[in-house]
Amino acid sequence: MFSKIYDSIKNFIINNYKFLIAWIIIVVLFFYELPYVIYTPGGIVNLEERIVVDGEEDVTAGSLNMSYVSLVKGTIPMLLLSFVIPNWDILPSEEITREDESVDDLLELEKLYMTSSIDNATILAFREAGKELNITREVNNIVYIADEAKTDLEMYDELLSVDGKNLATIDELKAYVNTLNEGDTVSILVNRDGKEKECSAKIYNTTDGLKVGISFLTTYEYETIPKIEVTTKNSESGSSGGLMLSLAIYNAIADEDITKGRTIVGTGTIDINGSVGDIDGVKYKLLGASKKNAEIFLCPINNYEEAIEVKEEFNLDIDIYGVATFKEALEYLMNN
């Protein structure tokens, strides 16, 4: 029996070897990933189309848009195209991922950062617009564990307490750790897969002070009046749309229209207190915005000089304004 199977397979290979070789080449070319990624100019997302406010109709004259970068995995055909297509830039994967982290791992983590960004933008916009919002739950998701950390914690554990203390921010965790001594062990209660689990971490010393080697990201559950829904696509991730999302939500629930009929594009992270954080890839985001005839480009103040250099290099017809806070961006749009 086995002899017949062997002969059958052998004959199939002999009769179809050209097809099999061609198929192997196609698989290698299009599916095998080299340790590189390719940044390309992206486009813009009209955020008014992603925000639904209960009982209210969108009457915005212009548009508030977030810009994005397109990230292409380093397959052989894509890498070859990058030598032909302008502004397709190759980067080693290690420059955008942590050690032992794949590009897919990075994208999964970026999904969580996007959730946090939406939460921050919503809470901030409702507060600034004087609308009702009630935070019902805070979730502290562990998003980083250092290689040198001595702990049985796992990525995406929900941190509940440290030595019985509820620590709401990473700064509170740092402050508490620095009241202890090197070599001490802290007890960390987490929610893992819906069950509480007692973990531990040993404190170690670094040039930056005492650490347990973890970091967490806060997401929120909340109720708003009016009710609001922000939709996203499976292909979208990251936190760099936070600034523009907070402005778009504000515009959707406030009385005035801050767009004044203009196409406004921007980028930048946002925290719950309204601080704007800098981002990577401003070149690709600005080029993508200019292709859509954007009139104004808002960016973090720390990315402003780079954005101006790109504008001058490519002779772009767009006004660029750097901001450090949500209020600065809002005041600029309202007064210009």
Residues 190 and 258 in one domain: no
Report the alpha-carbon distance of residue 294 to residue 268 in Å, rounded: 17
Tell me, yes or no, whether 3 lies in a domain: no
Residues 232 and 212 in one domain: no
What stretches of the chain adopt beta strand conformation (E)?
33-46, 51-53, 63-75, 89-92, 132-145, 150-151, 158-162, 185-192, 195-202, 204-206, 209-211, 214-225, 228-230, 263-266, 269-270, 276-277, 296-300, 319-323
C-alpha distance from residue 262 to each of 61, 109, 115, 202, 243 (Å) = 7, 34, 28, 54, 17
Tell me, yes or no, whether 123 lies in a domain: yes
Query: What residue numbers bound the domain in which 210 lies?
Result: 137-218
SS3 2: helix
pLDDT in tens, the chain (336 residues): 556 665 566 565 666 656 656 666 665 555 666 667 776 777 889 998 899 998 676 667 889 999 887 666 767 766 666 666 677 766 676 655 455 555 566 667 888 889 999 999 999 999 999 999 999 999 999 998 988 999 999 999 999 999 999 888 888 989 999 999 999 999 999 999 999 999 999 999 988 889 999 998 999 999 999 999 998 887 777 889 999 999 999 999 998 899 999 999 999 999 999 999 999 889 889 998 988 889 999 999 999 999 999 999 999 999 999 999 999 999 999 998
Tell me, yes or no, whether 23 lies in a domain: no
> Is beta strand 263-266 parallel, antiparallel or unpaired with respect to 296-300?
parallel
Tell me, yes or no, whether 86 lies in a domain: yes
User: Phi and psi (nearest 5°) for 146?
Assistant: -65, 150
Residues 236 and 330 in one domain: yes
Domain end, chosen from 170, 200, 218, is at 218
Adjacent-strand bridge partners of 181: none
Sign of the CA dihedral 45, 51, 57, 61? negative
Report the alpha-carbon distance of residue 217 to residue 135 in Å, rounded: 16
Adjacent-strand bridge partners of 270: 276
Tell me, yes or no, whether 89 lies in a domain: yes
Residue 277 — left, alpha, or beta (φ > 0 → left; ψ -120 to 50 → alpha)? beta
Report the alpha-carbon distance of residue 333 to residue 225 in Å, rounded: 25
Residue with tokens 């009710």: 227
Report the alpha-carbon distance of residue 45 to residue 265 in Å, rounded: 9
Residues 62 and 211 in one domain: no
Chain-centre distance for alpha carbon 162? 27
Domain end, chosen from 151, 183, 218, is at 218
C-alpha distance from residue 132 to each of 154, 155, 275, 327 (Å) = 36, 34, 21, 19
Q: In CATH, what number is assigned to the domain containing residue 58?
A: 3.30.230.10
* 3-state DSSP percent of the chain in helix, strand and coil, to 5: 35, 35, 30
Tell me, yes or no, whether 27 lies in a domain: no
Tell me, yes or no, whether 15 lies in a domain: no
Domain end, chosen from 194, 218, 242, is at 218
Report the alpha-carbon distance of residue 247 to residue 332 in Å, rounded: 12
Report the alpha-carbon distance of residue 328 to residue 334 in Å, rounded: 10
Tokens of 309: 């250099």
Amino acid letter at 77? P
**pLDDT (0 to 100) of residue 80:** 67
